[in-house]
Amino acid sequence: MSYADPGPRSPHPDRPEPPEPPGRPGRSRRTPVVLLTALVCGGLLGWLGYEAVGAPDDGSAAPPPASASSASPAAPGAPSGSPGPSSEDGKGSGAGTLAGKVVVIDPGHNPGNFRHTSQINRPVDIGTDRKECDTTGTSTNDGYAEARFTLDVAHRLRTLLQRQGVTVKLTHDDGSPDWGPCVDERARIGNSAHADAALSIHADGAAPGDRGFHVILPAAVHGGAADTRPIAAASEVLGEHVADGFRRSTGEPPSTYLGGGTGLVTRKDLGGLNLSTVPKVFIECGNMRNRTDAALLTSGSWRQRAAEGLSEGIVSFLRGS
């Protein structure tokens, strides 16, 4: 904070100086001013020295003032822990350690799929076979849709990755398009972006007694338009990082019904993996039909931890650690 300089005072020749107080010979009235000036100068020099050396790293120092380049605040009325606004093209500020890296996030299904059953039921080529374009996904017993869950986690994950400088692209977002895209198109979006990593987010609809998460890895398939041999090994490494980060952050156990307790499953019947030419995995974050998992999946704070775990895994993979 700066103060305005009052400037020199106007002399008053018609007002004689008062006599010096008795018993204090030789001392000028300006002595307090001189002392004050010395104190101010000394304090300023001390502050400059402190700034040059640096404040102790104990968390007590005040943060620097915000500048024009600071990140935008959360939108008014946004709930605590919700992701803040992001740039329209999904590109981070570039200030993070992973500037130049590209990640494609594929939120499983689409909230509008149920209105377009004829479109999503038509078969498409997945390389080794033909399967339906997409499905509506599952939901909890209380009606919380998988497509809503996956989009929410995708938004949170995008925000976290952008803070690292990653360029993030979503296969669909907030009703655009209003259904799909089909599984083959989802793979092409990652391929066209030349993604360093791609992740498809899901939640399962297994038997009520089953719970836990699992990460799906692409098998090394070669047939028709599918050839995952060049990306199978890298995808396995990506999947291991994602599983480790997700488990640490959420505390969710590996699937009790698939993967033999490893949290990792390999499949060759998923078009989104078969047609990918970049490292890609799926994650089933939990079982929406299981009461314990459903309570977690419907919790905003848990979804934030899920996004943090996914981010941790992807960042670790991108750094090669």
120-143 exposure pattern, b = at least 16 Cβ within 10 A, e = fewer: beeeebbbbeebebbbbbbbbeee
Name the residue with tokens 């977690």. Answer: 296
Give the count of domains, the chain. 1
Q: Give residue-wise pLDDT tens across range 262-292.
A: 999 999 999 999 999 999 999 999 999 999 9
pLDDT band of residue 175 (cuts 50, 70, 90) is confident
Task: Give every CB contact of residue 317 below 8 A, 6+ residues apart in sequence.
Answer: 197, 237, 238, 241, 242, 279
In a domain, 42, yes or no: no
In a domain, 23, yes or no: no
In a domain, 273, yes or no: yes
Which is the catalytic residue, given 146, 252, 284, 312? Answer: 284
In a domain, 15, yes or no: no
284 catalytic residue (yes or no):
yes
The CATH number of the domain holding residue 253 is 3.40.630.40
The CB-side HSE value for 309 (13 A sphere, CA atoms) comes to 25
Question: Quick check: helix, strand or coil at residue 230?
Answer: coil
Say what the pTM is.
Answer: 0.72
Q: Taking the C-alpha atoms of 24, 26, 27 and 28 in order, what is their torsion angle to the nearest 10 degrees?
A: 130
Please give the helix or strand (H or E) that residue 281 lies within, else none. Answer: strand 280-287
Spatial contact of 254 and 201, defined as CB atoms under 8 Å apart = no
Q: Give residue-wise pLDDT tens across range 304-313.
A: 999 999 999 9
Checking if the pLDDT of 101 tops 50, the result is: yes
Spatial contact of 292 and 138, defined as CB atoms under 8 Å apart = no
Q: Largest Cα–Cα distance of the chain, in whole Å?
A: 109
In a domain, 8, yes or no: no
Domain boundaries, position 204:
102-319
Task: Give every CB contact of residue 98 below 8 A, 6+ residues apart in sequence.
Answer: 161, 164, 165, 166, 315, 318, 319
Closest CA to 183 of 195, 194, 198, 166: 198
In a domain, 267, yes or no: yes
In a domain, 3, yes or no: no
In a domain, 46, yes or no: no
